[in-house]
Amino acid sequence: MTSRSAPGGRLAPADLEAVGAVVTGKGQGTIVEADNLDLLAALPDGCVDLAYADPPFATGRVRRLERIRTGEGERVRPGFAGRQYRFEVVSDHAYADTTPLDEHLDALELRVREIHRVLAPHGSLYLHVDWRTSHHVRLMLDEIFGPERFLNELIWAYDYGGRSPDRWPKKHDTILWYAKGETWRFVREAIDRIPYLAPDLVGPEKAARGKLPTDVWWMTIVPPASKERTGYPTQKPIRLLERIVAASSLPGDLILDPYAGSGTTGVAAARLGRRWVLGDRNTEAVAIARRRLAAELETIEAARAAAEPGAAEGA
């Protein structure tokens, strides 16, 4: 799909058709380039099984990520022992995260209310924030969902980047998990297990199986040199989204991400056999997500074909 919905208006007809197909189970997934408020307005009440939202963090800065290739190019950077290395920029993606905090929270509240509307009675929302807004957003979610619907404050902890000289380094994000109703999906057996810190204390059988994660998730960011890296400034690791999607949805469920960025939620949903609706108003982000999802679907289809009976004989 290449249509683009008009800012502040309804979705383009092609987008409406694609979203409708996914909602009714006739399509696997779609990515819409539009204001996510327009996307949310196009969704019927109670159709979404799981929503993940990673809105801007109100940093007041332009977020930028350059990918470089060393060994050639006109630019020079310092290296180990004073050596100089030539490099060239192979991609440069950026977006403005400059909305004032009060305007940011007002806009977010409108979207969270719409997410609440489109969630199924058993649906839930994972809202990804950081230290700048987590306390404000927790109160907002209590008001919209009700404090009794709060399930977890998940801490995604990572150890990457610089260190502040005058305070503890800020090396975590907060993911607030709220349920729409009195029941929600939590599939313990689908959650990836992690090693015990002291495996000798639990015995070989338990140590081999590993343990369920707690509400603190130690997980690296997407490494700069990783094949997973798309070049989008705020890309989240696929492992993070796979854990959320696996734990809080079932195969065939509909996953919503109204701040899609580089499309990681869609990739996780596709790998785990879920449907997905993604939205973002950033043209670069949507282009990256579409390329990424197309490649992922090709990989999934190739693996499926190779696993079919008789595939080896016909090769």
Domains and CATH numbers, the chain: 13-60+98-314 (3.40.50.150)
Taking each helix axis from N to C terminus, what angle separates 283-307 and 264-271, rounded to the nearest 10 degrees? 10
**177 in Cβ contact with 154 (< 8 Å):** yes
The per-residue pLDDT for range 112-157, each reduced to its tens digit, is: 999 999 999 999 999 999 999 999 999 999 999 999 999 999 999 9
**174 in Cβ contact with 130 (< 8 Å):** yes
> What pLDDT is attached to residue 308?
85
Higher confidence at residue 86 or residue 281? Answer: 281
Q: How confident is the model at residue 55 (pLDDT cuts 50, 70, 90)?
A: very high
Task: Return the residue matching tokens 């990256």.
Answer: 288
* Nearest C-alpha neighbor of 249 from the set 296, 182, 192, 190: 190
Task: Return the residue matching tokens 């990681």.
Answer: 264
Query: What mean pLDDT do residues 28-32 have?
Result: 97
Q: Give the whole-number percent of the chain exceeding pLDDT 90.
A: 74
Q: Residue 147: in which H helix or E strand, if any? A: none
- Per the prediction, the chain carries an average pLDDT of 88
> What pLDDT is attached to residue 98?
72
| Cα–Cα distance, 234 to 230 (Å, whole number) | 10
Higher confidence at residue 310 or residue 226? Answer: 226
Residue type, 183: T
The per-residue pLDDT for range 207-258, each reduced to its tens digit, is: 999 999 999 999 999 988 889 999 888 899 999 999 999 999 999 999 999 9
| Cα–Cα distance, 260 to 286 (Å, whole number) | 8
Query: What mean pLDDT do residues 32-54 have?
Result: 97
The pTM score is: 0.84
| Cα–Cα distance, 31 to 287 (Å, whole number) | 9
Query: What mean pLDDT do residues 282-295 have?
Result: 96
The per-residue pLDDT for range 6-25, each reduced to its tens digit, is: 444 589 999 999 999 999 99
Backbone angles phi, psi at 136, to 5 degrees: -65, -45
Whether residue 79 is predicted with pLDDT greater than 70 in this model: the reply is: no
Task: Return the residue matching tokens 């927790």.
Answer: 138
260: Cα separation from own chain's centroid: 7
Beta bridge partners of 92: 66
